[in-house]
Structure 1
Amino acid sequence: NYLAGLQAEENDVTDDARTYELANYAIWAAQKGAIIEFSWLANNPAFPDVADSYNTSCDGYALLAELLPGRALNSVWVKWLDHLTDFFNEMKFEDGTKVPFIFRPFHEMTEFWYWWGTDCNTVDEFLAAWNYTRWYLEVEKGNDQILWMYAPSKPSDLPEEFEEYYPGDDQVDIVAWDRYSKNTTYSSYIEKDCAKVVAMAKSHNKVAALAETGIWEGIQHVHNEDWFMSDFLNPVISECPQLAYAMTYTNFYHQSEYFVPSKGQKTYSGFVDFHDSVHSVFLGDELWSATGYSEDMTSRTMKRRN
């Protein structure tokens, strides 16, 4: 899920209806054995009062450098990290155990379209901001329930950047990537990306994953009913069966643009085959239910909340 709305100047997470319900939902899903992942599209701290300003201009700042202690945007950044911590602390089971989750900050940093990307920052500035953000959340605020995911964009197109932006083995738990493409090129890009990411993850003794993916502007444009088998699962199994998991983009409320089909839509039958394949594991599958993580999570009791 994308974390948003946690950056308002007057935000009180415990009183915010959306974040309260999101915390409840995360606890509910974790108790069923699901893995929780959050991506944070943080607002641009140079424009702290502008909603959804994550892709706005640099305004003359080297923005990531200004997040560090003693710099112009540090107080704004720290306040937002404190709000995140308040939210994370809402996600606890009845016995007080924190819900573990994957955190994917600064994603697609090897491209230009976000304020934390290449138009506003150098590689060294990114690395310093990543390390500081992790230190603050993990050491200063005690968030020890997080696995940190490094997820640049298009690693086979940007192989040097993929390696240059890597924060370090002590700063990353999961090496992943984001990839969108037109239907005609999707599977070939996935195969090339897979080779790059799995090799790097293996060399650094990290978990490999496909953090965010899909057909550009949605799978509703695809006419191949077997797409999830022929263009997604088969290339992955062929080139990188070591992937721990893959996550699609979201289905929007209006359903004119979607990334996972519903019953009756063109690619639904292929998605069912993908779900039923011996090469895929979904929540509820016996293989997943027998894992230590699933057994631990499902043994927990949801915290009773008013």
Structure 2
Amino acid sequence: MQLHATSSACGSGNRNPAEVLRTLRAAAASGRFFFGQQDYPFYGVSWSYEPERSDVSDVCGDRPAVLGCDLGELELAKERNLDGVPFETMRRMIVDHHRHEGLVTLSWHPRNPLTGGDAWDVSQRNVVHEVLPGGSCHDRFMGWLDDVAAFITSLRTAEGETIPVLFRPWHEHTGSWFWWGEDLCTSDEYKELWRMTVDRLRMRGAQIVTVYSPNPCMSSSEYLERWPGDAWVDVLGLDAYDGDGSERFVSGLNRSLAVMDSLSRDTGKPYAVSETGREGIPEAKWWSGSLLRGIGTYTPSYVLVWRNAPDDAKPGHFYAPWPGQASEEDFLRFHADARTLFLRDGLPAEESR
């Protein structure tokens, strides 16, 4: 395939999961990656729900190429997700982002189906066991999966074409802060949960590209310890945050990407930094001095930073700059860097790997 430069970052395809995967491979083959942000069109540090606005575009004049959204609390038939985003607004903005030929990734922080608590409720260690076949929550949970599938299949263009999405379930499973985490279920239970989820969504017609996203892993065996199988994973992901601005983030990200790069060559699957960032971005040169250094010479297909929460709701919880923020100037250099792809950027012709 030859994917030539266009007026947008993601090419003229992306009408089905296979085309999304080709687009990701094309970016990596060119030595570039799509930049993304969670919830970028819904709100920023000082505003919310203003059409055509984002903190990123206020700084650099361009939008992220990847839009991240979360489906948490869709399973409760609520009108808004766990961060207050109306699902109808989310649906509309996903369609708009796809119309501009951007990519969409969906995470899901479902409530704890056993206790009724949130996704971070780890008070019971048998939740995954109880949602698997034969468990006390299985039937309810399958209904939740049907709700997720219904939302994904409702994402359609004006011409009625279904919009494919990157779907990233059961993330950060090598930690133990979610009810599906490492200490909350066995490896076999986690794998069965993953396969059951993907099989149900595909059976219901959801056009998904699945992303497997543990925390930083320093070896292939560590990365693959809960791997559900090649048939159930399309993209190798990684959630890696900079917690303290130290060199540990740079070295840890670089070592994790080395592992993923090797696995990508073995499997033919693209890889991505599915969540990253530095909360509050106090370092003026974080983008060039930490993130790009951590990526180094590796070729993730996309890199997504977390959301910019409104300051009046969650002060200091932001991961991209806005005009006047300490890292604004460095972000402009990041935007201009030859390796980064934003929504308006053209994509060079794909090279063979």
Q: Same fold (TM over 0.5)?
A: yes
Partner of 2:121: 56
Aligned match for 1:103, one of 167, 175, 195: 167
Q: Deviations over 1:194-239 (max 9, x none)?
A: 1111112221111110000112x331x22xx33212221244133x
Q: Deviations over 1:260-304 (max 9, x none)?
A: 11121111111111111111111101227x89xxxxxxxxxxxxx
Q: TM-score w.r.t. structure 2 length? A: 0.73
Q: Is the 8 A contact 1:58 1:120 kept in 2?
A: no
Task: Select between 116-125 and 255-264 the one with higher mean Cα deviation.
Answer: 255-264
**Match of 2:256, SS?**
helix
Q: Is the 8 A contact 1:151 1:178 kept in 2?
A: yes
Q: What's the offset of the Cα at 1:248?
A: 0.6
Aligned match for 2:214, one of 146, 149, 152: 152
Return the structure number with greater relative CO, CA threshold 8 A, min gap 6.
Answer: 2
Partner of 1:214: 277
Distance 1:73 1:32, change over 3 A: same
Find the aligned partners of 1:71 and 1:235 in 2 and give their Cα distance.
42
Aligned match for 1:70, one of 134, 152, 171: 134
Distance 1:235 1:153, change over 3 A: closer
Find the aligned partners of 1:159 and 1:45 in 2 and give their Cα distance.
32
Matched, 1:26 2:94: yes
Find the aligned partners of 1:103 and 1:17 in 2 and give their Cα distance.
18
Aligned match for 1:188, one of 228, 251, 271: 251
Structure 2 unaligned residues grouped into runs of 5+: 1-68
Find the aligned partners of 1:17 and 1:189 in 2 and give their Cα distance.
33
Find the aligned partners of 1:244 and 1:159 in 2 and give their Cα distance.
19
**Match of 2:75, SS?**
coil
Find the aligned partners of 2:208 and 2:161 in 1 and give their Cα distance.
13
Q: Deviations over 1:48-88 (max 9, x none)?
A: 3x4xx111125352x22222223211112111111112211
Find the aligned partners of 1:11 and 1:33 in 2 and give their Cα distance.
29
Task: Select between 173-182 and 254-263 the one with higher mean Cα deviation.
Answer: 254-263
Distance 1:282 1:12, change over 3 A: closer
Taking the TM superposition and a 5 Å limit, the aligned residue runs for 1:1-306 are: 1-8=69-76, 11=78, 18-48=86-116, 50=117, 53-59=118-124, 61=126, 63-139=127-203, 141-143=204-206, 145-156=207-218, 160-181=221-242, 182-184=244-246, 185-215=248-278, 217-219=279-281, 221-222=282-283, 225-238=284-297, 240=298, 242-254=299-311, 256-287=316-347
Find the aligned partners of 1:3 and 1:60 in 2 and give their Cα distance.
23
User: After TM superposition, what 4+ stretches of structure 1 lie above 4 angstroms from structure 2?
Assistant: 10-13
Distance 1:161 1:72, change over 3 A: farther
**Match of 2:262, SS?**
helix
Structure 1 unaligned residues grouped into runs of 5+: 292-306
Q: What's the offset of the Cα at 1:12?
A: 7.8
Tell me which amino acid in the other structure corresponds to 1:248. V
Find the aligned partners of 1:250 and 1:173 in 2 and give their Cα distance.
24
Partner of 1:302: none
Q: What's the offset of the Cα at 1:43?
A: 1.0
Find the aligned partners of 2:320 and 2:205 in 1 and give their Cα distance.
36
Q: TM-score w.r.t. structure 1 length? A: 0.84
Q: Percent identity?
A: 26
Q: Is the 8 A contact 1:213 1:249 kept in 2?
A: yes
Tell me which amino acid in the other structure corresponds to 1:66. E
Find the aligned partners of 2:197 and 2:182 in 1 and give their Cα distance.
18
Q: Is the 8 A contact 2:173 2:181 kept in 1?
A: yes
Distance 1:2 1:17, change over 3 A: closer
